[in-house]
Chain A
């Protein structure tokens, strides 16, 4: 009789696989639009420490020291199947929100950086940010009406992107178009991870050693 390997329970015992994708880019570039077109968008409130410029002038008697306000982020979920979900976070690009980015990029699958060619410089900080942290990302160029059309390689060289970082021209308002950007991102991420070894080869003495993933 063939031996039956007991499989771990798939219900309850397995943690949910929840993969984070960040949607970043300058002010008004289409972050909320993208999250909303590909997923069911829901608000997520977070607290922001009020410092310096954003410190309120009004009297906040009774709450000394604890000067925070809540900020709404775009949050959308795509359910791939029971127990496997993509979580999209549309993150405000202003400097004062970077504290959220640090947390969101922790363990993130990757990011979409949205760019508008009429003001390309707005996406420089996001590109820098993900490059420095070695987070895989794609650049989605939103083709706004009246903006000149550029080819992806022109955008890529203007941004001085690493070879292999995809640039996709798209329209954040179109669900299918937004989907293509996410697909491109996941393909790009897949290239970083080892392909599954055939089980027999992995178990053979002298078989290929498992490859360490590139990310630390």
Chain B
């Protein structure tokens, strides 16, 4: 008899079988280096919801459609583990549903105006 109950390691751990079923066993998206945590994802305009997308992909797509946001935000909001989110976002990028922009690296900050803004912002918190 096959036991279809997901296996849990402990309360903190997710159901493993389901985790890898979502990504068809992939831990990394194909042909891509892992999406940066700070990369911004934006939903492509005018892409209709595709009922053929898995529920998890639809969830991610809806989150992206609200506003452009980072991979971290999307992972946190979806409650899915980061690695799974990356693989699924990679698929959505490949299918043209969303686009990704590289994050600004601190060394590329245009000047220290941004840091000044951050300081002022923190002081005003």
A68 touching B12 by the CB < 8 A rule? no
Instruction: Tell me which residues across on chain B come within 8 A of A20, comparing CB atoms.
Output: 37-38
Cα A103 to Cα B115 with chains together (Å): 22
Cα A93 to Cα B112 with chains together (Å): 31
Task: Verify if B13 is at the interface (C-beta below 8 Å from A).
Answer: yes
> Could you say which of B9, B70, B104 contacts A69, with CB atoms under 8 Å apart?
B9
Cα A44 to Cα B85 with chains together (Å): 11
A81 touching B69 by the CB < 8 A rule? no
Q: Closest CB of chain A to B5's CB: distance in Å? A: 11
Sorting the interface of chain B by its residue count into under 10, 10 to 19, 20 to 34 or 35 or more gives: 35 or more
Task: Verify if A146 is at the interface (C-beta below 8 Å from B).
Answer: no
Task: Verify if A143 is at the interface (C-beta below 8 Å from B).
Answer: no
- The total of chain A residues at the interface (CB under 8 A) is 54
- Interface flags, B73-108, vs A, CB<8A=1, else 0: 101100111111000000000000000011111110
Given contacts A47-B81, A70-B14, A215-B107, contact A17 B75 (CB under 8 A): no
A16 touching B17 by the CB < 8 A rule? no
Q: Closest CB of chain A to B104's CB: distance in Å? A: 5
Q: Closest CB of chain B to A129's CB: distance in Å? A: 17
Q: Point out residues on A near B: beta carbons under 8 Å.
A: 12, 15-20, 38, 42-47, 56, 58, 60, 62-63, 66, 68-72, 75, 77-78, 80-81, 84, 86-87, 103-104, 106-109, 175, 179, 182-183, 186-187, 189-190, 193-197, 213, 215
* Other A-B pairs beyond A15-B101, A18-B103, 17, CB < 8 Å: A16-B70, A42-B76, A43-B76, A45-B14, A47-B81, A69-B13, A69-B14, A70-B12, A84-B114, A86-B122, A186-B119, A187-B119, A194-B111, A194-B112, A195-B112, A215-B106, A215-B107
